[in-house]
Amino acid sequence: MRRPARRRPDPEPGAGAGATSILKFVIAEASFIAALMFYVGLIYTSRYYSNFHLSPSSLGFGFSDYVVESLQILSRPVLIAVVSLLLLMSVPQFVRRLPVTSRVRRRASAVWGAMARQYWVVVAAGLVLFLLWPSVRPYWMAPATVAAGLLIGQSGAALRGRGQRPADRAVPLFAALAFLLLAVTLLAAQLGDREAKQAAARVVRWPGVVVFSTERLSLTGPPALKAEDLGAGAHLRYRYSGLRLLVQRGDRYYVVPVGWDRTRDSVYIFRENETTRIELTPGVRRGARR
């Protein structure tokens, strides 16, 4: 006698809905992070290339380029600050898991709550930094301090014992996010400007560029920029050296002379064609003689 097939148990109600909710949350978070990286990359590249009289739009930068460039702000101080903030946020959970008596936990929680309720001191410190804006650097410290104070004020430890409606918390949370965005903007701009100035001071280490042309080019610049006439028998008669490659975008080469100064020198743009040939050479390595 054939046994009836065993019926599979029905899936638990809400299991599919829970997976869908998690997927929607992940997609929303990924979209937010991508948008933030795009914004940070735009600010960084705009400030970086403005030091060379260029703009990212003229270079043909796209969404993926800005996202990749945003990774430039992940410098050592920034990573230390982010890790420190994450550790600070995990202090309450860490204290609750310590193998100590409940009395010690309550005392530690009370101390943390008392400190959190004084969040206005941190906000006031940020306002003082704003008042001293021209003389206090880095500039992003002022909005970051205000944002930290506002976030501490909305923490569970600060709100314990004085209930607050979600609508009342919306304004300080929105203000904290606005100050955080301002801090990130100033940080990206500062790093872009600093990286550009450091790069301009090491132009000699950039890849070298040699330009051959059938026509004489009107190039002027520092003494390192050399023009040679190879003779009437050469098709590409004129050779220009002492140049360095700033960036290559498509078929365009953005070039500066060795010893380039942003206050007086130009950025040359070349396109390789029948009348112009571009050759790239290694730059001067660190420690090598110039």
Higher pLDDT, 198 or 4: 198
Q: Residue 290 has what pLDDT? A: 40
Read off the DSSP letter of residue 71: G
Answer with the one of 183, 200, 217 that is the final residue of a domain. Answer: 200
pLDDT exceeds cutoff 90 at 263: no
Grade residue 279 by pLDDT with cuts at 50, 70 and 90: very high
Residue 13 located in a structural domain: no
DSSP E strands in the chain: the ranges are 208-213, 226-229, 238-249, 252-257, 268-271, 276-281
Phi, psi of 262 (to 5 degrees): -65, -20
Say whether both 67 and 90 belong to one domain.
Answer: yes
Q: Residue 157 has what pLDDT? A: 67
For the segment 270-283, the average pLDDT, to the nearest whole number, is 90
Burial class (CB in 10 A: 0-12, 13-18, 19+), 147: buried
Say whether both 145 and 187 belong to one domain.
Answer: yes
Residue 289 located in a structural domain: no
Answer with the one of 200, 215, 238 that is the final residue of a domain. Answer: 200
- Report the alpha-carbon distance of residue 66 to residue 38 in Å, rounded: 5
Q: How is residue 229 written in tokens? A: 């006439």
pLDDT tens digit string along 201-254? 889 899 999 999 999 998 887 888 899 999 888 889 999 999 999 999 988 999
The whole domain housing 129 covers 18-200
Fill in the amino acid letter for 286. Answer: R
Say whether both 218 and 93 belong to one domain.
Answer: no
The rounded mean pLDDT for the chain is 81
Count of structural domains within the chain: 2
Residue 3 located in a structural domain: no
Say whether both 195 and 208 belong to one domain.
Answer: no
Grade residue 288 by pLDDT with cuts at 50, 70 and 90: very low
Segments in 97-140 forming alpha helices (H): 102-116, 119-131
Report the predicted TM-score, pTM, of the whole model to 2 decimal places: 0.76
Say whether both 196 and 229 belong to one domain.
Answer: no
Residue 154 located in a structural domain: yes
For the segment 53-63, the average pLDDT, to the nearest whole number, is 90
Fill in the amino acid letter for 208. Answer: G
2-16, 36-50, 134-148, 233-247: least confidently modelled range: 2-16
- Report the alpha-carbon distance of residue 208 to residue 258 in Å, rounded: 9
Residue 38 located in a structural domain: yes
For the segment 102-130, the average pLDDT, to the nearest whole number, is 78
Q: CA nearest 204: which of 249, 243, 255, 160?
A: 243
Work out the number of other CB atoms within 10 angstroms of the CB of residue 30: 10
- Report the alpha-carbon distance of residue 168 to residue 162 in Å, rounded: 12
Answer with the one of 171, 200, 229 that is the final residue of a domain. Answer: 200
Say whether both 35 and 96 belong to one domain.
Answer: yes
Say whether both 187 and 238 belong to one domain.
Answer: no
pLDDT exceeds cutoff 80 at 168: no
Say whether both 51 and 174 belong to one domain.
Answer: yes
Say whether both 57 and 114 belong to one domain.
Answer: yes
Residue 2 located in a structural domain: no
CA atoms within 13 A on the CB side of 138: 19
145-154, 172-181, 194-203, 226-235: least confidently modelled range: 145-154
Fill in the amino acid letter for 141. Answer: M
Residue 162: which H helix or E strand, with range? none
Q: Residue 136 has what pLDDT? A: 79
pLDDT tens digit string along 64-104? 999 888 888 776 667 776 677 667 666 666 666 666 556 66
Percent of the chain with pLDDT over 90: 29
Residue 10 located in a structural domain: no
Residue 287 located in a structural domain: no
Q: How is residue 87 written in tokens? A: 């550790």
For the segment 110-117, the average pLDDT, to the nearest whole number, is 72
Q: Residue 49 has what pLDDT? A: 94
Say whether both 34 and 171 belong to one domain.
Answer: yes
Say whether both 32 and 163 belong to one domain.
Answer: yes
Say whether both 171 and 265 belong to one domain.
Answer: no
